[in-house]
Amino acid sequence: MEYSPKRMQNTLNENDFQLKKKFGQNFIIDENIINNIIEKSKVDSDTLVIEIGPGAGSLTYKLALIAKQVLCYEIDTTLKSVLEENLSGLNNIDIIYQDFLEADVLSDLKKYIYKKVYVVANLPYYITTPIIMKLINDKIPVDKIVVMVQKEVGDRFKAKPGSKDYNSLTVFLNCYFEVSKLMDVSRNVFLPKPNVDSIIVEFRKKEQEIAVKNKEVFFKLVKDSFVQKRKNIRNNLKNYPLDKIEKVLARHNMDLNVRAEVLPLDIFIEMANEIGE
C-alpha cells in the first residue's frame, strides 16, 4: 500500500476512531513535516528509536524504514487496529499500549541490542514537560531527543539567560542537554488543527555531567532562585548564606540585586558548590 499520512488518517475513519482531546491527539497530516522530522533527527540503522504516541503511525512508518528498531508507547488502545493496519509489513516496530509516564522503559530496553537511543515524537501537548523529566529522572540512556512541541513550551526549553522564557526548567535541562530549535511548524499540518503553532526542538546529550558537588543543593538553589520571578537573588535566596553567594556573583561583576533570569548555568553551579560543602 502506498504511504501517505492522509491515507493513514483515513484508516481512522474506517475503524470508527474518535479523536481524543484528553490524550492530546493532533495527528500530522502533512508528509513534508514528517520528512523534515526524519531528516533532521538523523536516525540511522544503528538507532533504536523511542516514539511516544504513534497515533495513526505516520511518523512511525518512516522511522521504521531507517531505524534499527522503533519502540512505541501508546496510551490509547483504540488505536490498535489502526496501527496494525497502517504498519503491517514492517517487522522492526514494537508498540506497548501503556501510559508512557508509567512505563519501565529501562526494563523494556533490555530486550534490544542497539548502539544509540533517540526519542523522536510528536508529543502529546498536555504532558510534554513530564515526558522530558521522566527521560532524565529514569536515567533512560537517550543520546538525542527530537520532538514536536507547542511553540511556547519549546521557547522555554531553549531559552537563553536574559530572555523572558528562561526559568528553572531551562537551567535544569541545560545540565543534561544542548537544546536548540530545528524548525517552526504551522498549526495547519495537524488534524484537528490546534489553537497554537508548534516547533521541533532537539536535545543533544552533553558529553559530561555537570560538575556539582551536591546535586540536591544545586537543584533546590535553582528552584528557589526563580521562586518569585520579579524578585532579585537577595530576596529569593534570603535563607541562604548570602555572603557566599555574593562572593560568587562578584567574580562575575554582579551583586545580590541580580535576578535569576540572567544567570547562566555555570554561575548556578558555582553558587551551589560554594554553599554546598
Give the dihedral of Cα atoms 173, 177, 179, 185; nearest 10 deg. Answer: -90
Say how many C-beta atoms besides its own lie within 10 A of residue 80's C-beta.
13
Q: Which three cell numbers stand for residue 187?
A: 498549526
Give me 223's grid cell. Answer: 528552584
CB of 26 to ligand SAM, least distance (A): 5
Among residues 111, 112, 132, the alpha carbon closest in space to that of 52 is found at 132
**Residue sitting closest to ligand SAM (CB):** 53
Half-sphere exposure of 42 (CA within 13 A, CB side): 8
* Minimum distance, C-beta of residue 39 to ligand SAM, in the bound complex (Å): 16
Report the residue number, 99 or 255, with the smaller CB distance to ligand SAM: 99
Q: Enter the C-alpha cell of residue 69.
A: 528498531
In terms of CB distance, is 69 or 236 closer to ligand SAM?
A: 69
Q: Which residue, 75 or 221, has its beta carbon nearer to ligand SAM?
A: 75
| Least distance (Å) between residue 202 CB and ligand SAM | 17
In whole angstroms, how close is the CB of 33 to ligand SAM at the nearest point? 9
Q: How far apart are CA 169 and CA 158, in angstroms?
A: 10
> Closer CB to ligand SAM, residue 37 or residue 217?
37
- State the maximum Cα–Cα separation within the chain, in Å, rounded to a whole number: 69
Residues found near ligand SAM in the complex (CB under 6 A) = 23-28, 52-56, 58-59, 73-76, 99-101, 122, 124, 127
> Which of 55, 133, 56 is closest to 101 using CA atoms?
133
DSSP assignments along 28-58, one per residue? E--HHHHHHHHHHHT--TTEEEEEE--TTSH
Least distance from C-beta 9 to ligand SAM, angstroms?
8
Q: Minimum CB separation from ligand SAM for residue 255, in Å?
A: 45
By C-beta, is 101 or 258 nearer to ligand SAM?
101
CB nearer ligand SAM, residue 118 or residue 240: 118
Contact at 8 Å (CB) between 152 and 124?
A: no
Nearer to ligand SAM, 147 or 237 (CB): 147
**Can you tell me the distance from the alpha carbon of 147 to that of 246, in angstroms, rounded to the nearest whole number?**
39
Report whether 83 contacts 17 (CB < 8 A): no
Which among 40, 54, 58 is positioned nearest to 3, based on CA atoms? 58
Nearest distance in Å: CB 6, ligand SAM = 11
